[in-house]
């Protein structure tokens, strides 16, 4: 009987890894052909850094997590508090994280920073790959004038150079840079007044979505296959099927044009928030209702619910005290993606109702190739979504005692 050669044995043992390596090399070559070798290698290095952050040993996470958290807090607080106060607050936050934060929380923090770096680089790369440039519509007299404009705004011809300039400006100056199309204004001055507007709209929309979805879902889950169940799921299916702009148009026709009880568009009072918040939150209320229904049905069949009923507890106490936490688990796990969808989905809703939020600047920045404005909006949205996902993880662990040890 012939023995297999050591080379064939080694190839058979490492076949999966070799196939993965070959696919990675093929993908890298294809990416290099499309965007250039330097950009492709930088993108691969960014993804490698992201993957490496997830596989750091516990000791490295304990030391690196507070440092990265302090740097993130300094970058966030420096524009408003100044360098000295921002550094003090960042140092206190890093010390508190080192003494109090669990390993799981610190690991999530170590994942946030490379994620933001990769986001900035990929966004920069996509902006440069798109046709046109910020000065395409300018009436320049000569290429020399365009070069002068590029030098003033820090917009070189290549994405790698712009990424280097932008990171230096972000880390050393604590600034998101000047807007290229809005003369004499920085990105902070444009996004600062718009951020509270978008946060107010998103918070109200998320609150309405959670309240409406929980009421419909729990009522349907307590009486499955009843008329209440079919009615609730019918409303949920309607919310899932209709896009935001259709819901918004129907609400405007009904409440603003026909009954004249709410304003059509604009901003200035709480009445201007009602229609946009319902438009933004109704599709997510439908998803939450379906999740709450399934969670309620599953929890109501558990042994501890039967035990609570056997003790003679009234039904409302069984539901509110014992069943509600279990029914909330799938809903809480959905709140992270829901918050991301509501924040990014507000672009359409804000444009539809004429709300002066961040959506208008993101759209204008993309259309006008205002690189600094697009990057500032993307960084702000990504930071909010990442922090909200962290809060969702903490809330999930609080609701499920089996996960409290992991956080």
Query: Would residue 142 be called left, alpha or beta, if left means φ above 0 and alpha means ψ between -120 and 50 degrees?
Result: beta
Q: Show the CA angle centred on residue 16, arms to residues 11 and 19, nearest 5°.
A: 90
Whole-angstrom distance, CA of residue 66 vs CA of residue 55: 17
Q: What is the pLDDT of residues 69-114, one digit of tens each?
A: 888 888 878 877 777 888 898 899 899 888 888 887 888 888 888 8
Whole-angstrom distance, CA of residue 68 vs CA of residue 90: 10
Instruction: Specify the pTM.
Output: 0.81
pLDDT value for 407: 56
* 390 compared with 197, residue with greater pLDDT: 197
Mean pLDDT, rounded, for 389-403: 71
**Percentage of the chain with pLDDT > 70?**
94
Question: Is it the case that residue 140 has pLDDT exceeding 60?
Answer: no
Mean pLDDT, rounded, for 311-320: 84
Of 197, 178, 199, 200, the residue nearest 376 (C-alpha): 178
Mean pLDDT, rounded, for 25-45: 81
From residue 351, alpha-carbon distances to 53, 254, 266, 370 in Å are: 38, 19, 10, 18
From residue 230, alpha-carbon distances to 215, 219, 227, 266, 290 in Å are: 14, 11, 5, 37, 11
* 154 compared with 211, residue with greater pLDDT: 211
Virtual CA dihedral for 161, 164, 169, 171, nearest 10 degrees?
A: 170
Whole-angstrom distance, CA of residue 218 vs CA of residue 407: 28
**Phi, psi (degrees; rounded to nearest 5) at 124:** -60, -45
The burial of 34, by beta-carbon neighbours within 10 Å (0-12 exposed, 13-18 middle, 19 or more buried), is given as exposed
Mean pLDDT, rounded, for 311-336: 82
Whole-angstrom distance, CA of residue 44 vs CA of residue 24: 9
Do 144 and 97 contact (CB within 8 A), yes or no? Answer: no
Of 77, 62, 70, the residue nearest 107 (C-alpha): 62
Question: Is it the case that residue 176 has pLDDT exceeding 80?
Answer: yes
pLDDT value for 278: 92
Do 110 and 65 contact (CB within 8 A), yes or no? Answer: yes
Of 40, 94, 29, the residue nearest 67 (C-alpha): 94
Strand partners, 311: none
Question: Is it the case that residue 406 has pLDDT exceeding 70?
Answer: no
CB atoms within 10 A of CB 60: 12
Q: Domain limits of the chain?
A: 36-173, 190-406
pLDDT value for 4: 60
- Which segment of 9-18, 46-55, 225-234, 236-245 scores lowest on mean pLDDT? 9-18
Question: Is it the case that residue 139 has pLDDT exceeding 80?
Answer: no
Q: Which CATH superfamily, name and number, covers 190-406?
A: MetI-like (1.10.3720.10)
Do 129 and 43 contact (CB within 8 A), yes or no? Answer: no
Of 48, 25, 28, the residue nearest 38 (C-alpha): 28
Angle between helices 103-129 and 83-100 (to 10 degrees): 130
Is residue 276 very low, low, confident or very high in pLDDT (cuts 50, 70, 90)? very high
Do 326 and 397 contact (CB within 8 A), yes or no? Answer: no
User: How does the average pLDDT of the chain come out, rounded?
Assistant: 83
Question: Is it the case that residue 2 has pLDDT exceeding 60?
Answer: no
Question: Is it the case that residue 1 has pLDDT exceeding 50?
Answer: no
Q: What is the pLDDT of residues 237-258, one digit of tens each?
A: 888 888 888 888 899 999 988 8
Do 358 and 380 contact (CB within 8 A), yes or no? Answer: yes
CB atoms within 10 A of CB 394: 18
Cα(first)–Cα(last) distance of the chain, in Å? 56
């Amino acid at each position: 009987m012939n023995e297999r050669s050591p080379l064939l044995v080694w190839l058979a043992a490492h076949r999966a890894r070799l196939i993965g390596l070959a696919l990675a090399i093929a993908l890298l070559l294809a990416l290099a052909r499309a965007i250039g070798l330097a950009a492709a290698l930088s993108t691969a290095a960014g993804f490698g850094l992201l993957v490496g952050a997830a596989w750091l040993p516990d000791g490295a996470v304990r030391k690196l997590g507070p440092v990265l958290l302090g740097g993130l807090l300094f970058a966030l607080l420096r524009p408003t508090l100044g360098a000295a106060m921002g550094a003090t607050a960042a140092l206190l936050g890093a010390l508190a994280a080192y003494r109090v934060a669990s390993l799981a929380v610190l690991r999530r923090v170590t994942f946030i920073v490379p994620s933001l770096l990769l986001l900035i680089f990929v966004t920069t790369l996509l902006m440069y790959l798109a046709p046109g440039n910020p000065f395409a519509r300018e009436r320049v007299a000569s290429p020399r004038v365009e070069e002068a404009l590029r030098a003033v705004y820090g917009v070189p011809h290549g994405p790698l150079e712009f990424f280097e300039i932008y990171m230096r400006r972000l880390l050393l100056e604590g600034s998101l840079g000047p807007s290229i199309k809005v003369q004499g204004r920085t990105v902070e001055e444009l996004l600062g007044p718009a951020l509270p507007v978008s946060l107010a709209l998103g918070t109200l929309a998320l609150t309405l979505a959670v309240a409406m979805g929980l009421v419909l879902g729990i009522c349907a889950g307590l009486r499955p296959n009843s008329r209440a169940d079919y009615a609730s799921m019918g409303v949920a299916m309607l919310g899932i099927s209709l896009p935001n702009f259709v819901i918004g148009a129907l609400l405007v026709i009904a409440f603003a044009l026909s009954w004249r009880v709410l304003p059509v568009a604009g901003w200035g009072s709480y009445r201007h928030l009602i229609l946009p918040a319902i438009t933004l939150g109704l599709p997510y209320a439908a998803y939450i209702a379906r999740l709450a229904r399934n969670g309620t049905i599953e929890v109501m069949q558990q042994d501890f619910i039967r035990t609570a009923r056997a003790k003679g507890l009234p039904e409302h106490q069984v539901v509110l005290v014992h069943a509600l936490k279990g029914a909330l688990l799938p809903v809480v796990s959905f709140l992270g993606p829901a918050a991301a969808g509501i924040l990014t989905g507000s672009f359409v809703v804000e444009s539809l109702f004429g709300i002066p939020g961040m959506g208008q600047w993101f759209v204008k920045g993309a259309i006008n190739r205002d690189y600094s404005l697009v990057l500032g909006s993307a960084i702000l949205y990504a930071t909010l979504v990442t922090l909200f996902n962290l809060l969702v993880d903490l809330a999930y662990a609080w609701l499920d005692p089996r996960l409290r040890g992991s956080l």
